[in-house]
Amino acid sequence: MSETTPPQEPSAPRRSIRTTRRDFLRGMGLAAGAATMLPSLSAPADEAEATPDAAPATPGLRETGRGPRKIELRINGQTHSLTVEPRTTLLEALREHLQLTGAKNGCDRGACGACSVLLDGEAVQSCLLLAVEAVGKEVTTIEGIAADSRYARLVDAFCAHDAAQCGFCIPGMVVGSAALLNRNPHPSAADIREGLAGHLCRCATHPKIIAAVQAATGTGGPT
């Protein structure tokens, strides 16, 4: 009697291993995503606790924080106490907090000169200066210049020569002219054009403005 061999189960077909370009890119993407989401297990403890996006220490850098703070500003000979956010510009502090609206917000980027004020005697654009940066300095606005007898001839000359049309730029023009006469009591027409180069007049009365400044030098200008 012959032995019968038990039937063998058919073996599964062998599958060839092929890695397509799409499979490779998909695997690389998953690996990259996992690397960014999972914390590093091999990093030292002090390195893991560090904040990589913290601002580096900069010599001379002053930090004011984000919340409102109380400051004192010396404006037109008087001290004013007000609370402002660190981002508040000097122009905003003047117009919105102190109701000194002579300085105008023309371009809000320091290109027109309508917001000019004197800072320790020098003309600056108050839209580019933070209010906290003016602490400890003397600020003179067009209101202060108009009330100062030293600048009376300059103000009268602008009126006499019809330099103001719409009047929007004129406060800044007068402030810039005052700063010019402070450092150069007898400017030439070229000096005046250079000194007022950062001031724009919408009504194009620049020739009358130059004539007004020249007329104001009859007494040598303010000292």
Per residue in 191-211, pLDDT (tens digit) is 999 999 989 998 999 999 999
Give the pLDDT mean for 81-94.
Answer: 96
CA distance 40 to 98: 54
What's residue 57's pLDDT? Answer: 64
What's residue 59's pLDDT? Answer: 73
Q: Comparing 219 with 84, which gets the higher pLDDT?
A: 84
Q: Are 131 and 91 in contact (CB under 8 A)?
A: no
Mean pLDDT of the chain: 83
Contacts of 191 by beta carbon, 8 Å cutoff, 6+ apart? 180, 184
Q: Please write the tens of the pLDDT for every residue from 111-120.
A: 999 999 999 9
Q: Are 150 and 178 in contact (CB under 8 A)?
A: no
Q: Hey, what domains does the chain have and what are their CATH numbers?
A: 69-219 (3.10.20.30)
Is pLDDT above 90 for 54?
A: no
Is pLDDT above 60 for 146?
A: yes
Confidence of residue 73 (pLDDT cuts 50, 70, 90): very high
Residue 110 to residues 93, 107, 128, 203, Cα–Cα distance (Å)? 16, 7, 6, 19
What's residue 220's pLDDT? Answer: 41
Is pLDDT above 50 for 50?
A: no
Range name among 48-52, 59-63, 132-136, 196-200 with the lowest pLDDT average: 48-52
Confidence of residue 48 (pLDDT cuts 50, 70, 90): very low
Q: How is residue 161 annotated by DSSP?
A: T
CA distance 139 to 121: 8
Q: Comparing 98 with 67, which gets the higher pLDDT?
A: 98
CA distance 186 to 192: 10
User: Which residues are paired to 76 by β-bridges?
Assistant: none
Residue with tokens 């850098």: 61
- Give the pairing of strands 116-119 and 138-140: antiparallel
What's residue 218's pLDDT? Answer: 73
Sign of the Cα torsion 98, 81, 106, 163 reads: positive
